[in-house]
Amino acid sequence: MNGLMGLIPRRVGLSMLAIGAMLLGAFAYLNLPVAALPTVDFPTIQVTALLSGANAETMASSVATPLERAFSAVPQITAMTSSNAAGKTQIVLQFDLNRDIDGAAGDVQAAINAATANLPKTMTSLPTFNKVNPAEATVLSLAVTSPVRTLPELNQYIDNYISQQLSQIPGVGLIDFHGQQKPAVRIRIDPDRLTARGLTLEDLRATIGNATLDQPKGNLDGPTRSITLGATDQLLDPRHYREQVIAYRNGTPIKVGDVGGVIAGAEDTEQAAMLDGQPTVIADIHKQPGYNVIQTIENIKARLPALMSQLPADVQVHIAGDRTQTIRASVADVEFTLLLSIALVVLVIFLFLRRATATLIPAMTIPLSLAVTFAVMYVLGYSLDNLSIMGLAIAVGFVVDDAIVMMENIVRHLEMGKPRLQAAMDGLREVGMTIVSMTVSLVAVFLPILLMGGIVGRLLREFAITVSIAILVSCVISLCITPMLCAWLLKPHAEEAAPGRFSLFCEQCLQAIHDGYARTLDWVLRHQRVTLAGVLATLLATAVLYVVIPKGFFPEQDTGLIVTVAEGAPDSSPLAMREQVREAAEIARQDPAVDKVYFWIGPSPTISQARIVLALKPFAQRDVSARQVINRLQGPLGAVTGLRLYMQPTQDLQFGGRISKTLYQYTLQDPDSSELSHWADVLLKRMQALPQLQHVASDQQQGTAQATLQIDRASAARLGVSIQTIDDVLYDAFGQRQIATMFTQLDQNHVILELDPKWQVSLSTLQHLYARSDAGNLVPLDMLASIHRELVPIVINHQGVFPAITLSFDLAPGKSLSDAVAAIRQSTAQIGLPDGVQGSFQGTAQAFQDSLRSQPWLILAAVLTVYVVLGVLYENAIHPLTIISTLPSAGFGALVALLLFRLDLSVLGLIGILLLIGIVKKNAIMIVDFTQAAQERGMPATEAVREACLLRLRPILMTSLAALLGAVPLAFGHGAGAELRQPLGIAIVGGLLVSLILTLYSTPVIYLWFERLREARAKAATPRAEALPG
């Protein structure tokens, strides 16, 4: 401390440093990015493969399986899931958190290239991938509308302007378009007219394929010039397709128009999207990994005016869903909480000191600490988010502790009649090491968090570093600037004006507390065994409470968006599905808390599923939460005929890569899909009966009707018809087969072959289809196959390379995630799953289990770290035990407070307990340090500890109340993001209240107990030392 004493007279230099730090902090604060939570991106890649006309089983076996086997060789994949529906496979690959996403993308592309040879030859394009997690919420949703244009006409502006320009904006990742209908030429054939002319669909397909081409023609190179060759080999107008000649019969040309019609239509007519009842195309925008949400959305909004200026006046781009509104509201609320915490802490200081100058000195620690912390956050690339600002709001309560302890001790020396400079030096010399001990031991609490692995460790790392920086900076300020300000500004009480009435009243109250504490302390010191029994009882009660308290993972957030999965009957037609979903969306739009409603149907996963998104009004314009909106809409929406609806609020923090109907997931997997389906149904029924769960759903939809052609291979061989020919007939007729492509300057439009829609509604159409034999004869399909009806899955999901079914669920009111997990485990044990069926929690539930296993070890690691640090600082193994003996009372208070307010012990509640480990021991450190100093002056242990308790009562009360009131706005605040702040604030307030009362009595008793133990050991060692030969 001698080196620091030389800084006390240098008030100009220290003042300039403080002003510079404030300016630097202000600059950093204004330039820090804003986010809901610290940026934690799972390295995730989504692979998409398309094969029009294929059912789910074909996609799973012929597309997903070859790709999954290739991806299995990619290093550091932690999870691989796939969803296979009609015509589409999506595979989500999640990598280790430390995996570089660009390197992973290269490995994925190599795996796709290796699997290409095993994929179906009829795939018109290779699988593609995006570096994005589809389970993460979109950051911005745009709706593109036009009152006069059809959706295919609107698409050219989406593809050529909107999609391209949005994709170039920094931070924009995957853009999902819903309700998009790309232009296409559709050739619709009448099978009877085709057969009557002795033709087949294969003949027509070959004709069109040869009639429109876009191939290189070469050039002529003469002696003096070159001429490029071109040809009118493309058909660019739908009318020209009608005139194409398929064949000649008796010298008469048979044209396409003779056997069917040709229209300019849409590539996929089953997709639909609407915004507030108006047809639209929805663009869901995901951010790229590593980019800030707010900055990405601001970049998009800044580009929109220029983008819209390039579009026709009737084409409008609307903002349908915007995440920034709730993020900004949440951060603004927590910033207000920070300011309120500062005000309450300063008020506590003033009530104890009752002098403006004395209040200003420790209060200066707050803005200085925050300013330097903001500067360091800016350098480290951190953001202003709910966790970091919550950490600073909590830190406000104890960054002043060191300054209070320092100033209170300097005032004590001033009252001894010492000059101000000498009092400052003596005060620094006396408590300097105490402040260092308190600071280092408090920062030590965060070391286990910094070493935590997984998503929780990554999420809390920024919080831990931010709070640690604020604590360390406050320590430096207390050792340098606070003594300087005391030497410059403080005066002894005798030199100040006479105290007023309010000051006298406060002093009388504090003196009454002091006198009452002295009397009760004397009683405790006379009945030490009772106190020790109380300490042991508190320890036991804390352990019991930790076991029985409901546990959760992360509080459910209100982000202002509600996503609803609307599931219709498996055989619902696109038109029926559209009307049902429109009815549900209209009901939701009538809710007073809802601002906008948009929905889309198709293409993923199936046409019998839709997504309805409710964008809620800003928090200031509604008096209910997202969960309350869901609860009151359940009844009206449940009345919609033919639909099952699953609603969940969008969360900032998403775990896993599988999209589910409700929030939590439990997955079964089994190589035998039949066995898997049976046991999934059994477990689904059991889970639906559990009182801990609600809205239990399966991602295995009811089977859809399939007509399977049982091919008579003997007859087919006898008649000269190959299996490939039969498949081609069916694909040409019903598979929306792309038989040609029109290449334009700006786009590529497909030519699609199909039967006329009136021929696509009944199985009787199969009697009108013919295949051409090797001999050139037309053979009716019903001579080659019989029809067998069966139910087949609409969607087939995989976990790894095995079939999987995910059961999702929400928590019943008043139930915790730990209750639900225990109930599901008990249910799986009771039904006796066979060895081949493996079950595991996924997503958030899996992350909860991982964190639950690490919680006791994290608390133990924090306590041991504090003990080791204190042992090093004190060069003593006994007295650190006295200090950490105060911790059970804090844990007891925190757990009781969470129970009283019916809150789970979540990750944020655990953070509160870890902070209490650091805060509460400060009281014991002050008592132990002063007791040891008194004993060194020759005072008996009992008198020394009594004097230390009474002497340090006021600073203990002041620092504890400052920390407590600093957490009060978090505990009892409302508004955006309050659900995140409350568990942390309530745990700290409850822990501080109980520990403040108990530790003032338990610390001196435990100190004396260890002191007697030390003396007994010393006496026992003395005879042995005397007996040794000299």
User: For 899-923, how does the pLDDT look when each residue is reduced to its tens digit (9 = 90+)?
Assistant: 999 888 888 888 888 888 877 887 8
Q: Are residues 955 and 999 in the same domain?
A: yes
Phi, psi dihedrals of residue 754, rounded to the nearest 5°: -160, 165
- Banded pLDDT at 6 (limits 50, 70, 90): low
- Banded pLDDT at 657 (limits 50, 70, 90): low
Give the pLDDT of residue 70.
93
Give the pLDDT of residue 358.
79
Pick the last residue of a domain from 492, 525, 556.
Answer: 492
What's the CA gap between 560 and 583, in Å, rounded? 22
**820 belongs to a structural domain:** no
Give this prediction's pTM. Answer: 0.80
For residue 171, is pLDDT > 60? yes
Give the pLDDT of residue 1030.
47
Alpha carbon distances (Å) from 89 to 59, 61, 522, 702: 6, 11, 76, 19
What's the CA gap between 95 and 103, in Å, rounded? 11
Say whether 861 sits in a helix, a strand or coil: helix
**844 belongs to a structural domain:** no
Q: Are residues 885 and 1015 in the same domain?
A: yes
What's the CA gap between 895 and 58, in Å, rounded? 54
Give the per-residue SS3 of 915-979.
Answer: HHHHHHHHHHHHHHHHHHHHHHCCCCHHHHHHHHHHHCHHHHHHHHHHHHHHHHHHHHCCCCCHH
The residue with greater pLDDT, 960 or 127, is 127
Q: Which residues of 758-783 are buried (b: 16+ CB within 10 A; e: fewer)?
A: ebeeeeebbebbbbbbeeeeebebee
For residue 940, is pLDDT > 80? yes
Phi, psi dihedrals of residue 280, rounded to the nearest 5°: -155, 175
Give the pLDDT of residue 1027.
55
Q: Are residues 539 and 482 in the same domain?
A: no
For residue 875, is pLDDT > 80? no
What's the CA gap between 852 and 456, in Å, rounded? 11
Pick the last residue of a domain from 792, 820, 853.
Answer: 792
Q: Are residues 21 and 121 in the same domain?
A: no
Q: Which residue has the tokens 């800016």?
A: 378
Q: What is the CATH number of the domain that holds 125?
A: 3.30.70.1430
Would you call 895 exposed, middle or buried from its count of C-beta atoms within 10 A (0-12, 13-18, 19+)?
A: buried
The residue with greater pLDDT, 978 or 157, is 157
Specify the DSSP element, H or E, that contains 479. helix 454-489
Rg over CA atoms, the chain: 37
Give the pLDDT of residue 703.
67
What's the CA gap between 991 and 985, in Å, rounded? 10
Q: Are residues 947 and 883 in the same domain?
A: yes
User: Among 554-568, 661-675, 861-875, whose mean pLDDT is lowest?
Assistant: 861-875
Q: What is the CATH number of the domain that holds 241?
A: 3.30.2090.10
> What average pLDDT does range 954-979 have in this prediction?
81
* Amino acid symbol at 304: L
**1014 belongs to a structural domain:** yes
Give the pLDDT of residue 1010.
84
Residue (of 846, 485, 826, 497) closest to 664 by Cα position? 846
**614 belongs to a structural domain:** no
User: Among 483-492, 725-734, 809-818, whose mean pLDDT is lowest?
Assistant: 483-492
Q: Are residues 91 and 201 in the same domain?
A: no
What's the CA gap between 739 and 732, in Å, rounded? 9
Residue (of 564, 842, 818, 805) closest to 684 by Cα position? 805
* Amino acid symbol at 752: I
- Banded pLDDT at 693 (limits 50, 70, 90): very high
User: Among 74-88, 420-434, 483-497, whose mean pLDDT is lowest?
Assistant: 483-497
Q: Are residues 335 and 464 in the same domain?
A: yes
Q: Are residues 454 and 348 in the same domain?
A: yes
Q: Are residues 210 and 188 in the same domain?
A: yes
Q: Are residues 1010 and 952 in the same domain?
A: yes
Give the per-residue SS3 of 653-674.
Answer: CCCCCCCCCCCEEEEEECCCHH
Alpha carbon distances (Å) from 2 to 8, 423, 480, 929, 1012: 11, 14, 12, 19, 34
User: Among 166-175, 254-263, 712-721, whose mean pLDDT is lowest?
Assistant: 166-175
Pick the last residue of a domain from 749, 764, 792.
Answer: 792
Q: How many CB atoms lie within 10 A of CB 519?
A: 9
Residue (of 740, 631, 737) closest to 212 by Cα position? 740
Phi, psi dihedrals of residue 42, rounded to the nearest 5°: -70, 130
Residue (of 195, 208, 267, 197) closest to 765 by Cα position? 195
CA dihedral 323, 328, 334, 337 (to 10 degrees): -140
**195 belongs to a structural domain:** yes
**555 belongs to a structural domain:** no
Alpha carbon distances (Å) from 777 to 190, 202, 522, 731, 771: 19, 13, 113, 20, 8
Angle between helices 454-489 and 420-444 (to 10 degrees): 180
Q: What's the total number of domains in the chain?
A: 4
Tokens of 860: 């133990």
Q: For the chain, what percent of residues have pLDDT higher than 70?
A: 96
C-alpha count within 13 angstroms, C-beta hemisphere, residue 206: 9
Give the pLDDT of residue 75.
92
> What average pLDDT does range 67-82 have in this prediction?
91
**797 belongs to a structural domain:** no
For residue 623, is pLDDT > 90? no
> What average pLDDT does range 617-621 have in this prediction?
85
Contact yes or no for 189/754 (Cβ under 8 A): yes
Chain segment 552-607, per-residue pLDDT in tens: 888 888 888 899 888 888 777 788 888 899 999 999 999 999 999 999 887 666 77
> What average pLDDT does range 844-866 have in this prediction?
83
DSSP annotation of 63 reads: I
**910 belongs to a structural domain:** yes
- Which residues have a Cβ under 8 Å from the Cβ of 716 and sit 6 or more positions away? 722, 723, 726, 784
User: Among 104-113, 129-138, 285-294, 768-777, whose mean pLDDT is lowest?
Assistant: 129-138
Q: Are residues 450 and 526 in the same domain?
A: no
For residue 823, is pLDDT > 90? yes
Q: Are residues 461 and 337 in the same domain?
A: yes
SS3 content of the chain, % helix, strand, coil (to 5): 55, 20, 25
Give the pLDDT of residue 40.
73
Q: What is the CATH number of the domain that holds 889?
A: 1.20.1640.10
Instruction: Give, in degrees to the nearest 5, the angle at Cα 765 between 761 and 766.
Output: 125
CA dihedral 119, 124, 130, 136 (to 10 degrees): -90
Average pLDDT in the chain: 85
Q: For the chain, what percent of residues have pLDDT higher than 90?
A: 23
The residue with greater pLDDT, 391 or 241, is 241
What's the CA gap between 64 and 105, in Å, rounded? 18
Whole domain around residue 419: which residue ranges?
1-31+329-492
